[in-house]
């Protein structure tokens, strides 16, 4: 099983939260925007429980992917707690009620392939943003955490891509749903993430940082002028490789979707 290879690789190579010296946090280098980013990341990463629950419900007939989902979930919980630990080190707290509100599982996607596609976009997006934010952060412990998380998310994206390709080989009729998912997440001038789309209206999140807060801060303060286009182009290129089609623009995504539906 592919999940066995992933598990053994993570066991050999993955960093540990206990290796991080949070007493080394340089409080003199902590800026207000760092606190905002960390609190937003805690909320985004806390969604892992809902996601794993949703995966296990939706992929009840796929042991291999379900096992990967559990391994993936462990790393995402680690991300949640690493940002929490950094905030604890500087005396900042996240409202537990807001975290608890994220618990409800996701409903199944349009198709299982669409669910996998959504998570590919999620991982590629957060990988890019964590890496770029790390380059703008002066506080050394947070810088390290962001780089660690960015590398993890790149690995997660790789595995979701693997499982999406395998799923489409068995269920090519789900290709249209993958293209629809791509278009929904890359068709306008916003950074879209499943947590923001499906969880942002929770009343418990009112007056609290969310993952969208971090994305807005990123676009306003860190991102280059064409960075969103760069990120969306990267995502379309990955999806082009998954379905073996030219998806390098929104127009080409629409044409590909029309061709798949008509076939």
Domain ranges of the chain: 27-262
pTM over 0.85: yes
- Rounded Cα distance, 263 and 257, in Å: 10
Q: Domain 27-262 belongs to what topology?
A: Ribonucleotide Reductase, subunit A (1.10.620)
Chain segment 74-112, per-residue pLDDT in tens: 999 999 999 999 999 999 998 888 888 888 888 888 999
Q: Which residue reads 């999940």 in tokens?
A: 3
Q: Packing angle between helix 112-136 and helix 140-170, nearest 10 degrees?
A: 160
Chain segment 26-49, per-residue pLDDT in tens: 999 999 999 999 999 999 999 999
CA distances from 166 to 106, 126, 163, 253 (A): 22, 23, 5, 21
Q: Which residue reads 């009112």 in tokens?
A: 206
CA distances from 157 to 118, 164, 190 (A): 10, 10, 20
């Amino acid at each position: 099983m592919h999940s066995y290879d992933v598990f053994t690789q993570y066991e050999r190579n993955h960093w540990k939260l206990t290796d991080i010296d949070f007493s080394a946090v340089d409080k003199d280098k902590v800026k207000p925007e760092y606190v905002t980013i960390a609190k937003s990341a805690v909320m985004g990463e806390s969604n892992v429980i809902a996601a794993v629950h949703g995966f296990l419900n939706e992929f009840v007939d796929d042991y291999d992917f379900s096992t990967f989902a559990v391994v993936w979930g462990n790393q995402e919980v680690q991300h949640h707690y690493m940002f929490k630990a950094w905030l604890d080190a500087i005396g900042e707290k996240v409202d537990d009620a807001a975290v608890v509100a994220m618990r409800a599982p996701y409903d199944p996607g349009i198709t299982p392939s669409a669910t996998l596609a959504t998570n590919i976009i999620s991982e590629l997006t957060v990988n890019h943003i964590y890496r770029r934010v790390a380059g703008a952060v002066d506080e050394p412990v947070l810088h390290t955490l962001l780089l660690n998380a960015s590398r993890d998310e790149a690995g997660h994206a790789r595995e979701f891509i693997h499982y999406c390709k395998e799923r489409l080989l068995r269920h090519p009729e789900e290709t249209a749903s993958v293209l629809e998912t791509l278009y929904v997440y890359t068709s306008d001038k916003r950074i879209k993430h499943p947590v923001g789309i499906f969880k942002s209206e929770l009343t418990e999140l009112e007056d609290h940082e969310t993952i969208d807060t971090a994305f807005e801060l990123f676009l306003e303060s860190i991102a280059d002028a064409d960075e969103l286009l760069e990120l969306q182009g990267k995502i379309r290129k990955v999806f082009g490789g998954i379905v073996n089609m030219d998806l390098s623009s929104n127009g080409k995504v629409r044409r590909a979707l029309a061709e798949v539906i008509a076939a």
